Structure 1
Amino acid sequence: MNLTGNLQRLTCLLWLAGFSASGHTVQTPENWQPWHHSDLFSVAYQKRTDQPLQIRVTGQWPGISAKSVINLLNDIDSVPLWVKHVSTVTILSRPASNQTRVLTHFDLPWPLRKRDMLTHACLLQVSKASYLLKIRSVAEPAPAPGVIRIEPVTVQWRLTERDNAVEIDYQISADLQGGAPQWFVDKVALRNTRTSFNALHELLQTQGVRAQPWALVPGNTCPFE
């Protein structure tokens, strides 16, 4: 069962996400159930019949910019520092300056089978201080023989800069496929989401303020909803 749980460390993967909170109070409709609250962030979830668990993380991180978050999410060398069992991350293409296609491989412990995830990310500028990163799974090219594809994947990050802080609203829904018991998968997914966001915040603090260009240049169009 512990090995099966390792799968859920994938659910917090990098370029998946969404933001829009006041402070770091979770502002969700009634069907969002609170699960975790700390000074750094809050985690809520909702579960619909026969649908993957949907997870939402909200928080306000002082001294951190939206650009630093986007750049870290797109830093393929840093992914293993906050997401376990990632073997390789490859940028396949950049369809536009605000878009990227990424293939991520996960090398999980026996007896679990290898997974991959093929995603298309698009960064939008909503206002002068607000950005929206959308991520969706892509079907082609097909996974290699013996590799299970994580799909469908829907991720959204909304990042809003205010008072020298970034407000984060992250939402994700991802079907890991395979035959793991769904109740157990959901439970571990929540725990590992909390772990990954703690690690992400620590990395952002370690990096500090850097004068770097955007890894993705915020745009005003996206090829998907």
Structure 2
Amino acid sequence: MMSYDMFRSAHLFHGIFALYLLLFSNLASARPATEMPLPASSMTADKPAAQNTWRLWRENKHSRVRYRAVTDSPLIEISAELRLSSTLSGFLLFLQDYPNIPNWLDNASQARLLAQISPRENIFITHFDGFWPVKAREMLIHSTYWQNPDLSVEIAVNDASHKLENNTKAIRIKIHKAHWQLTPQAGKQLEVHYRLIASPEGNLPLWLANKLSLGAMWKTLQALHQQLPLSTWQQKSIPGIKEQGQ
């Protein structure tokens, strides 16, 4: 088990994918959870820019998942939003508790730190179980976080597949774009926003990969909303991270 000193200096993830991980703007009037089908047109390339608008996939009173087509690509960009009770430090430390990641990140089987570059920058790997017809996959992430003057925290997430040779049969997920923003609110509430474009690689049809990714994102949001407020990391703090009201 990783020491607290390592957790507080290491950086945060994630997603497919978290990882394929999260976000929230104005859900005060959110509707009950609904799931919207993926239209065939959203899976094709060469779409007019006017059609690249966000489409709601599913939402409830505290979370929302949307997607939109990527111009000149069959990939989709996923937007996730979440509102929950958490401190900034508690959220960051919870996501860096690598042995615990499989308990909330959908389909993840293992995660571990590969290299700590600085107190707020690291490289880690997450493994995902395979299930028919999806083969096992893994994702290497290089992440860096910082706090803005308005107390929001941003996390830059970049693909780090080139940092480690693949000696397993797992297929490497490619991260094209990923970014987190954590915005503290009154009453120890936190609004979390996550944007992601990732390619599953391999021979998995993108229409299926996109649907699976949206489903995994939704399950991950619900797990975070349930588990994170009760985490012991809520009693810890990260040096240099200022909380709302301090």
CA contact (8 A) 2:178 2:195 kept: yes
Partner SS, residue 177 of structure 1: coil
What is aligned with 2:213? 189
- Cα 1:127–1:51 change in 2 (3 A) is farther
Larger radius of gyration between Structure 1 and Structure 2: 2
- Cα 1:212–1:66 change in 2 (3 A) is same
- Cα 1:201–1:126 change in 2 (3 A) is same
Q: CA deviation digits over 1:105-149, x for unaligned, max 9?
A: 223236643322111010111124210011111122221143311
Does residue 77 of the first structure (1) align with residue 99 of the second (2)? yes
What is aligned with 1:21? 25
Aligned counterpart for 2:223 among listed residues 191, 199, 204: 199
* Counterpart mapping for 1:132-143 below 5 A: 132-138=154-160, 139-143=162-166
Partner SS, residue 11 of structure 1: coil
Identity %, equivalent residues: 21
How big is the shift at 1:12? 2.6
Measure the CA separation in 2 of the matches of 1:25 and 1:137: 36
- Cα 1:128–1:50 change in 2 (3 A) is closer
Measure the CA separation in 1 of the matches of 2:61 and 2:23: 17
Partner SS, residue 204 of structure 1: helix
What is aligned with 2:234? 210
Which segments of 5 or more consecutive residues in structure 1 lack a partner in the other structure? 1-9, 219-225
Give the CA RMSD over aligned residues.
2.8
- Cα 1:22–1:107 change in 2 (3 A) is closer
The TM-score, its normalising length taken from structure 1, stands at: 0.79
How many residue pairs end up in the alignment?
205
Does residue 47 of the first structure (1) align with residue 85 of the second (2)? no
Measure the CA separation in 1 of the matches of 2:83 and 2:224: 13
What is aligned with 1:11? 16
Partner SS, residue 167 of structure 2: coil
Partner SS, residue 235 of structure 2: coil
Which segments of 5 or more consecutive residues in structure 2 lack a partner in the other structure? 1-14, 31-49, 242-246
Q: Which has the higher contact order (CA 8 A, sep 6+)?
A: 1
What is aligned with 1:221? none
